[in-house]
Amino acid sequence: MLTRLESLPPPLLVLAGIVSVQFGGALAATLVPHIGAGGSVLLRLTFATAILCGMVRPRWRGHSRRAWLTVGGFGLALGLMNWTFYGSLAHLPIGVAVTIEFIGPLLLAAVLSRRVIDFAAVAGAALGVVLISQVLHVPLAELSLTGIALALAAGACWAAYIVLSGRTGKEFPHLEGLALAMAVATLVSLPLGIASVPTWDLAAISKGLGIAVLSSVLPYSLELIALRRMTAAVFGILLSLEPAVAALAGLVVLGQRLGWVQLAGMGLVVAASALIMGTSNRPPEDVPSDLTETGG
């Protein structure tokens, strides 16, 4: 199974991961009101860790100090990324939170870009995200500094996740590093969600299992495999499809309809992502050495 996945084009793997995580997010929107953000994150990560460790059976010995530092940082970024974003939703409209969080990947893509076309794609994607989220229509009085800080922190963790996921994929074979990182992320989220455990009923547990598969196991696995053969800059731009797919998931799962401005934003986002996918075949010398595939 892993061999077949590794033979697929990286952009296709990223797209599949985006679709999975956004429909998982729509499912999570029905769970958070019942057990809270911390409980939802803990339930999701607990199931995801159990599934991955059961499938991969990672080795706990024989790894270098650098490998452990990498996977530890990856797990920390995973745990904090989930918690800070869910926390921001308690203070901000979801469109505003998603837009602020997306600053992280966009800035990462801009920093790592070396061509004018990359900066043009970043600008187009950024404008599209703003239009989709309708952030310009939210009164400033409704914005919370706490929510903004949490969303910015989630964006920083998202950028760290992109970089550390690629490095983890090179330090560990197959999905072994991801399984170890998920265990670290679960430990990070434990103090934040332990109080919600008594409220977990069968319905919550069932939803948590579905969210774990859709929002963690599938997308993180696909992204880690893709990042072995894709630069962090290109991956960051492809993630601009997330708001568009989220809008589709909201329509299908939650019945949320889109306006013409949002549809225009989706068009910009998709165009920016297509631009990068169509021009991402760079010569090896143009790619930073720490972002290229080195085997494994």
* Distance separating alpha carbons of residues 233 and 286, to the nearest angstrom: 12
> Does 287 fall in a domain?
yes
> Does 296 fall in a domain?
no
> Does 113 fall in a domain?
yes
pLDDT attached to residue 1: 57
Query: What SS3 class is residue 3?
Result: helix
pTM of the model: 0.73
* Distance separating alpha carbons of residues 44 and 180, to the nearest angstrom: 16
> Does 277 fall in a domain?
yes
> Does 197 fall in a domain?
yes
Q: What is the DSSP letter of 196?
A: G
Q: Which domain holds residue 136?
A: 2-291
Residue 211 contacts residue 27 (beta carbons within 8 Å):
yes
**Average pLDDT by stretches of 10, the chain with 296 residues:** 69 87 83 85 90 81 78 90 83 74 80 76 82 74 79 90 82 78 89 86 92 87 80 72 77 76 80 66 36 30
| Cβ atoms < 10 Å from Cβ of 140 | 5
One-character DSSP codes across 76-112: HHHHHHHHHHHHHTTTS-HHHHHHHHTHHHHHHHHHH
* Domain count for the chain: 1
